[in-house]
Amino acid sequence: MKIDVLTIFPEYFDSVFSFGIIRRAKLAGLVEIDVRDIRSYARDKHKMVDDRPFGGGDGMVLKPEPIFAAVEDLVGTSERAGYPEGTRVVLLSPQGRPLTHDAAEALARQADHLVMICGRYEGVDERVNEALVTDEISVGDYVLSGGEPAAAVVIDAVVRLVPGALGSETSAENDSFSDGLLDCPHYTRPADFRGMKVPEVLLNGNHAEIEKWRRQKALEKTRSVREDLLTGENGDM
């Protein structure tokens, strides 16, 4: 998978992709990540990437010209219908659809080339969204200073689902949200820590009982903190 990140603050990502699963995926050749400065695509002598919004109001808006030029350079066209197969252009925005496990899984499965556009200030000229963007994604119902943290979150969520990125092929299958529930509790040694003991069922070696316990605890946790997830089949359990 090829990932290009468009930002006016490329230094934000100096070390973000140098750790853990993303680093291993890069070293294994499973993913290539390039961070590109939107200013380098500005054509005027001052390298302007933002301007005041039409109609008045506070703040600045990222201009369309540099972003169109960047996408054209990376994808070969600014015509969304003409993108090469497997290309997705993602705008990080509070107005986007929420990032979910299913959305991350779809990007990991379907995309060969991701172009991530990091918004800033009051946002991005809407013509970018209308003409270039295939996916507008939000990482939550709150406003960040820019799309850079959101891009890092999306990339992390997607890359760990790329086949081969995790040490175990079943790790992602057992994550929270993979089956619509939150994850169950996990324990490790020692079995007794300051009087707090690991549940006996996890020590008896009966895998059928362990799986039943884990499923029940995942359901209890989901009911407790994310009851909204309990719909359909899971909600009837």
Q: Which of 4, 50, 120, 160 is the catalytic position?
A: 160
For residue 63, give the nearest of 5, 122, 143, 114 by alpha carbon. 122
For residue 135, give the nearest of 178, 82, 93 by alpha carbon. 93
Q: Which of 24, 36, 65, 94 is the catalytic position?
A: 94
94 classed as catalytic = yes
DSSP state of 34: E
Residues paired with residue 35 on neighbouring β-strands, in sequence order: 5
- C-alpha gyration radius of the chain: 22
| Contact of 24 with 136, CB cutoff 8 Å | no
Cβ atoms within 10 Å of 21's Cβ, excluding its own: 18
Q: How far apart are CA 68 and CA 84, in angstroms?
A: 16
For residue 145, give the nearest of 170, 120, 127 by alpha carbon. 120
Which DSSP helix (H) or strand (E) runs through 89? strand 87-98
Residue partners of 130: CB distance under 8 A and separation at least 6: none
Q: Which of 65, 72, 122, 156 is the catalytic position?
A: 122
Q: Which of 175, 179, 183, 220 is the catalytic position?
A: 175
Active site (catalytic) residues: 94, 122, 160, 175
